[in-house]
Structure 1
């Protein structure tokens, strides 16, 4: 029997076009995740948010993604990958439009959660569809379109925010609303793609309809061989795994690796950096324009080093990339902590003149000539002088006027951190998860681990604004550095190298007899 990808000359153009259309879901996922970074200051003022309210407004999209993760798989099995992706595109369109037009905090949260459900569906179903439509020789590169589009979406969001930030009125509305344009394009384009041939055969037994699509991809011989392979898979399909199976002792090592990597991928603060990049740079004393420009550089760094990871992962291996990446992440986070720790806060005629609120300025005028060598000492001095809402305003908006810091070191630290993540924990986690689970539990196990990963991400983004204002950037980055160091120890102790091994060999290494 000939293999499906060697029978005839493939119609690669058709397959690539379909994959690019579907992978636009990854672009929207990345855009939706990062675009909120530019709107943080605007929504904080507009909806009169506290730090915890802001954390939930930013992080609730991850909360929605967890719900999307749970429902997308079963819905895609029942109704088909294409229909679920069309619903996902509609959710992105509704979320972008509604969040831009929201007039109250509650409806803004609802709109963000709707987008989160779209994220949860897109991250799960788009790669599944592409993997099912692609010939074996193209499968790896075509599925990687989705991950690459996520990173491109993040970069484009930073560019979009930079060009929209100075619009008159509520610029944050434009930042969030502009996503409706690619979302609507995605919604319309999805109607042109075929339904998954494998799903048509597995769920509906519509062999003739599946054959027409497969013929467009590779011709009659390719369609015949692929259909035969699908039907053989149906004949020998093993019993589907249950949730309780993943808790069996023989899978303990696998689950430790999977849950550990999923935990450290998020707990080391990557989404805090992506969601709050301009805020971090403003904390380092940058202007609004320069902070948004630096966020663009963060996005481009993420894109470039994701491409580096794709090139290295099958050459260097998974574990070496993880060890290298987490080591430099730790170094970068320590650099950021040191930069903020060495900062001073100077009160003089120039810095005091930058305070816009006359009441706050008058309350602090007696500090002229003083300098503070830590944020904690500064806050202890000024808190008794200000009303609660004035103190909150100072921590959010005024403190950047007084900080004297090595801003270049902060930028280098953040870029090194993002680059290190992009070659390690970012892409390698998903590769490992696709390799270490046996087929019997793969679907349910990846769903559980993905849900856990989203839960940790939600927790990090929820508390980050509170950490910055209450603990200060020094302690915040110091905590992330400590957690990143723990990630190095975890990878060294528990993660195995899967490069060059068959899935059967990996299974033999990990499953307890």
Structure 2
């Protein structure tokens, strides 16, 4: 590609070969980050780098670590071209080589931290399925189970939906939004511990309630814990995970949610023959996964990024040492994070709760993350997964099964949902969040539509039992197929994506926004679906959600950029691209390329990446180009010759 055509691309700009401290504060406040992945350390001389590191160490109480911090800064500046750096020993180079060659090799503490805390998600999944089974019996005990045609049927229908929706109402309106001050006061671990206590007590209390009003209030309290937990745990995991496999680790949230759904369905089957107390056991048993969470969270290291936000750098250093194999990796990460945080503070001005909330919509970089996270969370409700998770037992009964058969069919749904979440562990970072969504949403649309059409199969036959079995079997098959498409795509992506897209100053508020969107629309779905099911019939209801899958697919295509294998700080570059530029690229460049390449089979079709990493061929320290930053995010298919070219985007919205 010639220099003239390259310079015309407004989505790419060159590295600014100046230190972060050199930015004029007023200009930096209005400037957005480049659409190229830029390293703020690029172009700084070794002497200046060491002066900056020494000043950083003195200011933050890390003077005893100056030698390793200097090495860490050099590695952050040139993470893939370190062989010629004279400061690196053979041991240092061996540690870097090992990190590049073994991306899954990390301390057990890091894995234990992420997966222990993700246990909290199992409580949410278990509660969904506990209420699913309880729907078959608790309305009758509390006098809100009128049958169709009886006097209070419509009122009772709304009340059952309201009780089911109570945790999500409380989460969306209150629980999510208190996570910001709670995190500020108690830290990530403290909030997780407090919410684990709530999630231990409230399910037990749910099983002891004596009327629907008490059950409604207890489930509201459950929602407070769910909201604060859902806004904290994915962020905690994202902040502790290395960029190369962050998606796979943070999706532990979805994996444990799916496991909780499966365990909840299993519990429903186990206690089905316990008589009138069955629904109490189904709701109350959801406390089980919260217990190890409460007991184990204090053995985990606190988030280094949260500690740095609170200016507690010595503690952040200790946390990183526990989360990384080698001191050099910890030194690289703590200095690189610090430099990027200094950049963020030049455009992030919110110094109180309400100003930070406003900045979700007023700062262009943050607003784009707000829109993207809102879209992926809304899509999770639009896809229809929760109409199955909340009401599968009811749906299978409407399809002609007995309540007992419905519980076993629901157990099968839970098993499929859990098992098919595992492929995402290996695909979410390889293929990316956006790709998984774009591939799976069309499959969810047609499989959900097929499940709805199966309700039209007539029951009348020479052998009614055989006809009913065929109908139920086909309904279950397509619902299971729908779950198999959901689990590796829209299942793990929303919470993983939302936890990583916001800058540190906005992370709690941003995650609160995203989770409130998810839980808020989950509440709406829970309240309205029983009525929708009756008015639209099962076929119409399933067809309606199949159509919403198509709408969600379009929204994702236009408003959700890719984030795979970038550090949390480098995502500033991704969200610096204007929304209209992203839409233009997808509609006018990516779509025509896809049609030429995969429909007309034109192997010569090419697509220039929207974001490319800028090489720094004139780096004075090593003398090599900078192909990637910590985490290895270089775009494939972008040549060195292409990388030499530069251009500049307009920085103001």
TM-score (normalizing by structure 1): 0.79
Give the match for residue 269 of structure 1. 384
In the TM superposition, 1:92-491 aligns within 5 A as: 92-134=199-241, 139-203=246-310, 205=312, 207=314, 209-217=315-323, 218=325, 228=335, 232=339, 235-238=342-345, 239-240=348-349, 242-248=356-362, 250=364, 257-344=372-459, 406-433=471-498, 443-491=508-556
1:244-284: CA deviation from partner (whole Å, max 9, x where unpaired): 34445956766554434333320332212101111111111
The CA distance in 2 between the partners of 1:138 and 1:486, in whole Å, is 30
The CA distance in 1 between the partners of 2:500 and 2:308, in whole Å, is 26
Are the aligned partners of 1:42 and 1:170 in contact in 2 as well (CA < 8 Å)? no
Per the TM alignment, residue 69 of structure 1 is displaced from its structure 2 partner at its CA by 0.9
The CA distance in 2 between the partners of 1:488 and 1:91, in whole Å, is 36
Per the TM alignment, residue 91 of structure 1 is displaced from its structure 2 partner at its CA by 0.6
Are the aligned partners of 2:165 and 2:527 in contact in 1 as well (CA < 8 Å)? yes
**Against the structure 1 CA distance between its residues 12 and 45, is the aligned structure 2 distance closer, same or farther, given a 3 Å change threshold?**
same
Deviates more, 1:238-247 or 1:95-104: 238-247
Deviates more, 1:222-231 or 1:164-173: 222-231
* Bigger Rg, which one: 2
**Against the structure 1 CA distance between its residues 268 and 144, is the aligned structure 2 distance closer, same or farther, given a 3 Å change threshold?**
closer
The CA distance in 2 between the partners of 1:216 and 1:497, in whole Å, is 30
Give the match for residue 118 of structure 2. 23
Are the aligned partners of 1:298 and 1:415 in contact in 2 as well (CA < 8 Å)? yes
The CA distance in 1 between the partners of 2:565 and 2:302, in whole Å, is 33
Deviates more, 1:443-452 or 1:271-280: 443-452
**Against the structure 1 CA distance between its residues 261 and 59, is the aligned structure 2 distance closer, same or farther, given a 3 Å change threshold?**
same
Are the aligned partners of 1:435 and 1:506 in contact in 2 as well (CA < 8 Å)? no
**Against the structure 1 CA distance between its residues 488 and 507, is the aligned structure 2 distance closer, same or farther, given a 3 Å change threshold?**
closer
Give the match for residue 64 of structure 1. 170
The CA distance in 1 between the partners of 2:331 and 2:548, in whole Å, is 52
Displaced runs of 4 or more, over 6 A: 7-11, 402-405
**Against the structure 1 CA distance between its residues 265 and 273, is the aligned structure 2 distance closer, same or farther, given a 3 Å change threshold?**
same
Deviates more, 1:164-173 or 1:178-187: 178-187
**Against the structure 1 CA distance between its residues 15 and 265, is the aligned structure 2 distance closer, same or farther, given a 3 Å change threshold?**
closer
Per the TM alignment, residue 426 of structure 1 is displaced from its structure 2 partner at its CA by 2.4
1:503 maps to 2:562: no
1:455-509: CA deviation from partner (whole Å, max 9, x where unpaired): 1111011111222234321221122122223233434455455557863552343
Are the aligned partners of 2:179 and 2:508 in contact in 1 as well (CA < 8 Å)? no
Are the aligned partners of 1:94 and 1:111 in contact in 2 as well (CA < 8 Å)? no
Give the match for residue 389 of structure 1. none
Per the TM alignment, residue 232 of structure 1 is displaced from its structure 2 partner at its CA by 4.7
The CA distance in 2 between the partners of 1:175 and 1:311, in whole Å, is 33
Are the aligned partners of 2:131 and 2:283 in contact in 1 as well (CA < 8 Å)? yes
**Against the structure 1 CA distance between its residues 76 and 328, is the aligned structure 2 distance closer, same or farther, given a 3 Å change threshold?**
same
**Against the structure 1 CA distance between its residues 234 and 493, is the aligned structure 2 distance closer, same or farther, given a 3 Å change threshold?**
closer
Q: SS of the counterpart of 1:178?
A: helix
Per the TM alignment, residue 437 of structure 1 is displaced from its structure 2 partner at its CA by 5.2
- Per chain length, whose mean CA-contact separation is higher, i.e. which structure has more relative contact order (CA < 8 Å, sep 6+)? 2
TM-score (normalizing by structure 2): 0.63
The CA distance in 1 between the partners of 2:206 and 2:321, in whole Å, is 43
Per the TM alignment, residue 240 of structure 1 is displaced from its structure 2 partner at its CA by 4.0
Pairwise CA RMSD of aligned residues? 3.5
Q: SS of the counterpart of 2:422?
A: helix
**Against the structure 1 CA distance between its residues 476 and 508, is the aligned structure 2 distance closer, same or farther, given a 3 Å change threshold?**
same
Are the aligned partners of 2:251 and 2:493 in contact in 1 as well (CA < 8 Å)? no
The CA distance in 2 between the partners of 1:140 and 1:323, in whole Å, is 17
**Against the structure 1 CA distance between its residues 172 and 494, is the aligned structure 2 distance closer, same or farther, given a 3 Å change threshold?**
same
**Against the structure 1 CA distance between its residues 229 and 317, is the aligned structure 2 distance closer, same or farther, given a 3 Å change threshold?**
closer
1:48 maps to 2:113: no
Are the aligned partners of 2:192 and 2:233 in contact in 1 as well (CA < 8 Å)? yes
Are the aligned partners of 2:230 and 2:515 in contact in 1 as well (CA < 8 Å)? no
Per the TM alignment, residue 233 of structure 1 is displaced from its structure 2 partner at its CA by 5.5
Give the match for residue 624 of structure 2. none
The CA distance in 1 between the partners of 2:492 and 2:141, in whole Å, is 36
The CA distance in 2 between the partners of 1:140 and 1:485, in whole Å, is 25
The CA distance in 1 between the partners of 2:539 and 2:131, in whole Å, is 24
Are the aligned partners of 2:344 and 2:503 in contact in 1 as well (CA < 8 Å)? no
The CA distance in 1 between the partners of 2:477 and 2:132, in whole Å, is 19
**Against the structure 1 CA distance between its residues 29 and 194, is the aligned structure 2 distance closer, same or farther, given a 3 Å change threshold?**
same
The CA distance in 1 between the partners of 2:529 and 2:130, in whole Å, is 17
The CA distance in 2 between the partners of 1:93 and 1:39, in whole Å, is 19
Are the aligned partners of 2:175 and 2:223 in contact in 1 as well (CA < 8 Å)? yes
Per the TM alignment, residue 435 of structure 1 is displaced from its structure 2 partner at its CA by 6.1
Give the match for residue 39 of structure 1. 134
Unaligned runs of 5+ in 2: 1-70, 77-91, 100-104, 145-155, 351-355, 581-652
Per the TM alignment, residue 171 of structure 1 is displaced from its structure 2 partner at its CA by 0.6
The CA distance in 2 between the partners of 1:178 and 1:435, in whole Å, is 32
**Against the structure 1 CA distance between its residues 337 and 190, is the aligned structure 2 distance closer, same or farther, given a 3 Å change threshold?**
same
Give the match for residue 360 of structure 1. none
Q: SS of the counterpart of 2:300?
A: coil
The CA distance in 2 between the partners of 1:435 and 1:227, in whole Å, is 17
The CA distance in 1 between the partners of 2:501 and 2:487, in whole Å, is 21
**Against the structure 1 CA distance between its residues 215 and 308, is the aligned structure 2 distance closer, same or farther, given a 3 Å change threshold?**
closer
Deviates more, 1:19-28 or 1:232-241: 232-241
Which structure has greater helix proportion?
Answer: 1
1:88-122: CA deviation from partner (whole Å, max 9, x where unpaired): 11111111110000001111111112222221122
Q: SS of the counterpart of 1:102?
A: coil
Are the aligned partners of 2:120 and 2:289 in contact in 1 as well (CA < 8 Å)? no
